Chains A and B, each alone.
Chain A
Amino acid sequence: MDSIIFEACLNNFHYLLGLILNGLIVGAIYALMAIGLTVIFSVLGIVSFAHGEFYMIGGFVTYFLLENLIDIDIYIPVIGTIATIAMPWYVAILLSGVVTFFLGSIFEQTFLRPMFSGKVERPGEYAILVTFGLAFFLQYLTLAIIGPFPVKADRFVSFDIPKILGQITIASNRIIAASVAVIAIGSTLYYLQRTWTGRALRAVSQDKDAAAVTGINPQRMNRFAFGLGCMLAGMAGATLVQVFSWVFDVGVVASAKSFVIIVLGGMGSVPGALFGGLIIGVVEALGTGCFPDPSRSLAYRDAFGLIIFALILLFRPQGFFGRKL
């Protein structure tokens, strides 16, 4: 009788460990995307269907900054000389975050604000339609401007691919992407927990009216939260443009994954999004790596994550960290 698990998963510890490490790396990036979505949901109470498009824009901004701002001549008046500098990759990532933050804020101010000022009759449906519209607009605008051909940034840092425990191969660009994701997630958590604005955001997410009584402007927080969510998606894209080939619709799948993750972790829960991202990453990697039929293992990749998703919803409908109603 054929084994129900690929043999290497049972008798090759390094193979199994490699799958888990790769899963954690991908999961950390999923989590960064999903945290952005969950911040938007918890403060504004809407699901942004354009989240993947900010991920896409973040990638393209980083790519063009790194490709076009190489060897820039800058005149330094104090010493009267011209210095040639190249755009450092981490600055490009931060700038991508800034660009997507402002784009998101402008969109919130222009299209979502009427929802909160009572000018829209059915705000729930309006939010779905307007973010869907934005998603298509951004995709096809990018297609028109940049074209359909894939681009990819050079590896941010080139070093020999390390072999962990002598056998496990993990690509250097993935290690960098995951490291950036971890730093961005840590900074976001710190910001939300330890700063006045972070606390204000959390207050608005719990009770808008009560927050307003204490002097917090909920509309300003809405705009800030939407911008922050878009910024995190943009930074996730910025880290991955050196890993995947980048095209105008690259965000569609990433966006769908984020929806699954925030439901799995608990709608509106930042730790839930982090945990959900890691779980989905590892389950997909193990499912693909251990499914006995190699011809089907990759085709079922999304299904492995969805099985866990369905099981969690069955036994814990509020997700891992969601509040019970």
Chain B
Amino acid sequence: MFKRKYLVFLLLLTFVLAACQADPEQVEVIVTRVVEQIEEMEVTRVVEQTVTEEVEVEVTRVVEVEAPVEVAGRCAPTDPGEVEEILIGASAPLSKPGSVTGGLVMQAAFAIAVDDVNEAGGVLGLPVNMVLYDTEGLPERGTAVAERLITQDCVVAIVGEYHSAVGLTMKEVSNKYHVPTIFAETYNNDITGVQYPEVFRIAPTSAFTAQMDAKWLQEVGDYNGDGEQTIVIVAENTGYGTGQVDNALTWFPEFGLGEPEVFLTEQTTQDFSSVAQRITALSNVPDAILIKVTGEQSYNVQQQLYEGGVDPAQSIMVANQVALNDEEYWENVPDGAYAVVPRIGPWASSASETGLAFAEKYRAIMGRFPEAYAFEAYDSLTLMADAINRAGSLDPDAIIAALEATDLEGAAGRYYFPYGIDNPPQDSGEAEWMWHQWPEVPLLFLQYTASGQSSDDIEVIWPETYRTSEGAVVRPE
């Protein structure tokens, strides 16, 4: 009886203490701003040789409120002297319904990046360590993972993520806690379009890929010679798929292409025979069918469209980039000759020395040339490590400033972010999503020209600079 009363008293006491606690988020925001202002004032007053008493009083106030901030929200220290290792958070889908294939690839690439950074002396003289969590491709898990990384694991920055839908929620948490974040493989325009100071991206945007698709299709023209250029898009009903569709609907007409016929699919769908029938029943035979579905689902779509009567001689099939895993591709899509595969990131023939060094290490683990998201995962971590080194501190503002000033040769190319806090993209007439966006994401269109062909022998059909084929597309004989 006594024990029960004691427990009830303790419970009530806990509630009262919890109710009396100040709102952590508000304190955090106010303090950050005050510190910045006072530092500026101090310098100005000293130079002007005016009264210094006021300054001293205000500095004392800062010291008083600094302690609860770390408890309340983000717990990473800003002074490297307080840590034994630099902890960077990472996220990737490692279980369903996310793309497990993509997640495992990114996990391997992160591990190589950590090893490379540590072999090169670490960051600020300290070893780098990574905390990787599984987001399952679910937006709500993205929020939970980012919260945990920032408030429990005390990471100084976050890198990675594969799914746009997850990136869209994670960016809110990064912004809330003012944590520098580089998104690796999330295409949705809004991720950088909202222009949060903390958020950077090295993947292409949906708008960018839609423009590339449109430019290539414009060059291909009326493939089947029926007098009209008809384009079909089969897209997954996710942040990635709908983003791709929205941008195609926006950009295709800008390049003189008609509005595409769109089929949305759920991630769990396996049987696409009805879509194949609908496509073959269209009044115009499609000139191109763009598959904007990720992972192994793209194989199901592609093969079932062929089996349902889509003829590569009449319609070009544009596969997902996973098709470059040739052994897996030919096993799953045995009819997939003459498919076109967009490749984000460098290809074996165009990779830099850094890229090839990474590719060699990656091949030793995964047994193949790195996928685009492997390059992106590797580069997101090395870019963040480089920025922290240059910042000389773990202070988020210093890291963000260093990231904005990035000029680094990474595995996938030379990285820089031309638009940011002092130079917003809209001031230069650029789209809002160019904020903290790497502008030179390499994109190639490749084409299998024979059944069972190795991806090492694949033709580069676009852009013209890298072209190994005779035209913008190779037709079946």
A residues whose Cβ falls under 8 Å from a Cβ of B: 6, 8, 12, 15, 18-19, 22, 26, 143, 147-152, 154-155, 161, 169, 171, 173-174, 244-245, 247, 249-250, 252-253, 284-285, 288-289, 294-299, 301-302
List, sorted by A's number, 18 A–B pairs whose CB atoms are closer than 8 Å. Answer: A22-B274, A149-B325, A150-B328, A154-B334, A171-B308, A173-B307, A247-B100, A253-B270, A285-B274, A294-B261, A295-B245, A295-B264, A297-B263, A298-B265, A299-B237, A299-B264, A301-B266, A301-B274
Chain A residues with CB below 8 A from B96, complex form: 249, 252
Nearest neighbor of A26 in chain B, beta-carbon distance: B271
On whether the beta carbons of A19 and B277 are closer than 8 Å, the reply is yes
Q: Kindly provide the distance from the CB of A96 to the nearest chain B CB, expressed in whole angstroms.
A: 19
Nearest neighbor of B275 in chain A, beta-carbon distance: A298
Nearest neighbor of B234 in chain A, beta-carbon distance: A298
C-alpha gap A285/B264 in the complex (Å) = 15
C-alpha gap A284/B274 in the complex (Å) = 9
On whether the beta carbons of A19 and B280 are closer than 8 Å, the reply is no
B residues whose Cβ falls under 8 Å from a Cβ of A: 96, 100-101, 104, 237, 245, 261-266, 268-278, 280-281, 296-297, 299-300, 303-304, 307-309, 325, 328, 331-332, 334
Nearest neighbor of B331 in chain A, beta-carbon distance: A152
Partner of A8, one of B273, B275, B281: B281
Q: 6 tightest CB-CB pairs across the interface, nearest first?
A: A171-B307, A150-B296, A288-B274, A148-B100, A169-B309, A295-B262
Compute the total of residue contacts between A and B using a CB distance below 8 Å: 107
C-alpha gap A149/B277 in the complex (Å) = 28
Given contacts A143-B100, A173-B307, contact A22 B266 (CB under 8 A): no
Nearest neighbor of A161 in chain B, beta-carbon distance: B307
On whether the beta carbons of A289 and B264 are closer than 8 Å, the reply is no
C-alpha gap A148/B331 in the complex (Å) = 15
On whether the beta carbons of A297 and B274 are closer than 8 Å, the reply is yes
On whether the beta carbons of B274 and A298 are closer than 8 Å, the reply is yes
C-alpha gap A300/B308 in the complex (Å) = 20
On whether the beta carbons of B332 and A298 are closer than 8 Å, the reply is no
C-alpha gap A147/B262 in the complex (Å) = 33
On whether the beta carbons of A294 and B278 are closer than 8 Å, the reply is yes
Chain B residues with CB below 8 A from A174, complex form: 273, 307
Chain A residues with CB below 8 A from B331, complex form: 151-152
On whether the beta carbons of B268 and A245 are closer than 8 Å, the reply is no
Partner of A298, one of B261, B264, B280: B264
Given contacts A15-B277, A143-B100, A289-B274, contact A253 B263 (CB under 8 A): no
From B274, B280, B307, residue with most partner A Cβ within 10 Å: B274
Chain A residues with CB below 8 A from B328, complex form: 149-150
Nearest neighbor of B298 in chain A, beta-carbon distance: A245
On whether the beta carbons of B266 and A298 are closer than 8 Å, the reply is yes
Chain B residues with CB below 8 A from A149, complex form: 101, 296, 325, 328
Q: Kindly provide the distance from the CB of A101 to the nearest chain B CB, expressed in whole angstroms.
A: 25
Partner of B281, one of A15, A22, A299: A15
C-alpha gap A301/B267 in the complex (Å) = 12
Chain A residues with CB below 8 A from B237, complex form: 299
Chain B residues with CB below 8 A from A247, complex form: 100, 296
Partner of A12, one of B101, B245, B281, B309: B281
Chain A residues with CB below 8 A from B265, complex form: 298-299
C-alpha gap A173/B335 in the complex (Å) = 13
On whether the beta carbons of B104 and A148 are closer than 8 Å, the reply is yes
Q: A174-B307, A298-B269, A301-B266 are in contact. List 6 more A-B contacts (CB 8 A).
A: A149-B328, A169-B308, A244-B300, A245-B300, A250-B270, A289-B277
On whether the beta carbons of B281 and A245 are closer than 8 Å, the reply is no
Q: Kindly provide the distance from the CB of B182 to the nearest chain A CB, expressed in whole angstroms.
A: 24
Partner of B273, one of A15, A26, A252: A26
Q: Kindly provide the distance from the CB of A253 to the nearest chain B CB, expressed in whole angstroms.
A: 5
From A12, A22, A149, A285, residue with most partner B Cβ within 10 Å: A149
Q: Kindly provide the distance from the CB of A218 to the nearest chain B CB, expressed in whole angstroms.
A: 37
Given contacts A143-B100, A171-B307, A294-B263, contact A6 B270 (CB under 8 A): no
Chain B residues with CB below 8 A from A155, complex form: 334
C-alpha gap A59/B127 in the complex (Å) = 46
